[in-house]
Structure 1
Amino acid sequence: MADLDAVTNGIGRNAIGMMVLLTALSLAPGIAITVTCFPFIVTVLSILRQSIGLQQSPPNMLIVSLSIFLTWFIMDPVLSEAWRVAAVPLRDGQITLEEAIARGIPPFRHFMELRTNPETLAHFSEIAPARIDNPDSLSILIPSFMISEIQRAFEIGFLIALPFLIIDLVVSAVLMSMGMMMVPPAVVSLPFKLAFFVVVDGWEMIAGALVRSYQ
């Protein structure tokens, strides 16, 4: 009877563990978006594509995939630290799942605190519900971090879009002076913008700037 109870308890623990694991895996994409540099990178790349004047090239899947791997490249020190202090002891059975989560949060918290605008963090702290009395709560830090990243992405996006806007204005002025008012300027300026982007080695320059912004 005791053996049967032990087996039943073991099956129950395994079922609960499997449920927790599946839940964590289903939440992983959302967690990756909220606590890493992914929002910043994917926003900048999307603005770049719109600035060039391309609607579906590169396709969304390629933009997201490139953003994921650049995020992995940038976040590797944080991920390695979280793996060392949390995942390895959990795998070896030295700590529980709850303790592993508690140990894995600080590396991401430190990363977000370095990138969060203090004014944005103070604003969210002021408007936080009364039940959140801890100013260091993740429920305050994470939205502050995401807003800061999106704001920074828009600032970088403006600098990226400016040269392409100048090309559009020049092409539009030339077409007007030639009396070709029926020709869409965007169609004519697209090859020039692509040539300009290729000449300056745009993809490598943008990717390098994104990575260096986190160093």
Structure 2
Amino acid sequence: MGDIADFINSPNGLNFQNLSPPVQMALMLGLSTLLPAALMTMTCFTRVVIVLSFVRQGLGTQNVPPNLVLTGLALFLTLFIMQPTFAEIDQKAYQPYVQKQMTGPQALKIGSDIYKRFMLQQTRKQDLALFLHLSKNTSVEHAEDTPFLTVIPAFLISELKTAFIMGFCIYLPFLMVDLVVSSILTSMGMVMMPPITISAPFKILLFVLADGWHLVSYAIALSYG
């Protein structure tokens, strides 16, 4: 958003404060349609929901927990993890703007810089370098100078990689249980019985005894420092 804020602040840009209230309201309603996309791509929601999906897949419980419960848990974990970033934006950008201590473009620039710093902290250098190369932007010497729209896809693929690494680590113990049960059934000559039928209760028991939801939530939150 830093480049967007520069455009708004430029003489040829759009001055939001000079627009009439109906036009401002129309623009705000239009921008609100982008909130679901922003939630999924610009926050930790992607990592959280993928890791939780790996947990359910590893347990082999099909639709338990239901998609609605899993998405709701991912949403509130996302709000919890993003709270420090949102609080900093509110303190350093939104509140000064409301109190008329700075203009709208200035608040947007400060808020976008704070948010970009959060994304850069979770973005791998090679992912950022990839999109800088694709955009043919060779003038960037420091990561903080990267355009906002270049940081977003780099952040997203970094989140996907991290989520799959965490998902693999979570899935591996469940796979070991399946292998042990399958070996026992084969040695007993019960090759026609699906191993998942026997292993599912053991995996659920193991997950409950280890307080799995607590550990998964802790691991996700800790992965963001």
**Could you state the TM-score of these two structures normalised by the residue count of structure 1?**
0.88
Are the equivalent residues in 2 in contact too, given 1:171–1:185 (CA < 8 A)? yes
Report the counterpart of residue 118 of structure 1 in structure 2: 125
Q: 2:139, 2:89 → 1: CA distance?
A: 23
Give, in whole Å, the separation in 2 of the partners of 1:209 and 1:171.
28
Offset of residue 169 of structure 1: 0.5
Look at both structures and tell me which one has the larger radius of gyration over its CA atoms: 1
Q: Percent identity?
A: 40
Q: Is the 8 A contact 2:132 2:138 kept in 1?
A: no
Match of 1:88 in 2: 95
- Between Structure 1 and Structure 2, the one with more helix by share is 1
Flag as ranges the 4+ runs of structure 1 deviating above 6 A.
none
Query: What do residues 31-54 of structure 1 show as CA deviations (whole Å, max 9, x unaligned)?
Result: 122221111111111111111112
- What is the TM-score of this pair, normalised by structure 2? 0.84
Select the residue among 33, 49, 60 that pairs with 1:26. 33
| Aligned equivalent of 1:208 | 218
Aligned to 1:21, the other structure's residue is in SS state helix
Which residue does the alignment assign to 1:37? 44
Which of 181, 184, 190 is residue 180 of structure 1 equivalent to? 190
- Aligned mates of 2:73, 2:30 — CA distance in 1: 26
Alignment-derived partner of residue 139 in structure 1: 149
Residue segments in structure 1 that go unaligned for 5+ positions in a row: 1-11
| Number of aligned residues | 203
CA distances 1:75-132 after superposition (whole Å, capped 9, x unpaired): 111000111122223333444443332221111111111110001111111112x4x5
SS of 1:179 mapped into structure 2: coil
RMSD: 1.8
Q: For residues 134 and 31 of structure 1, what CA distance do their matches in structure 2 show? A: 27
Change (3 A) 1:123 1:75: same
Q: Is the 8 A contact 1:36 1:71 kept in 2?
A: yes
5+ long unaligned stretches in structure 2:
1-18, 141-145
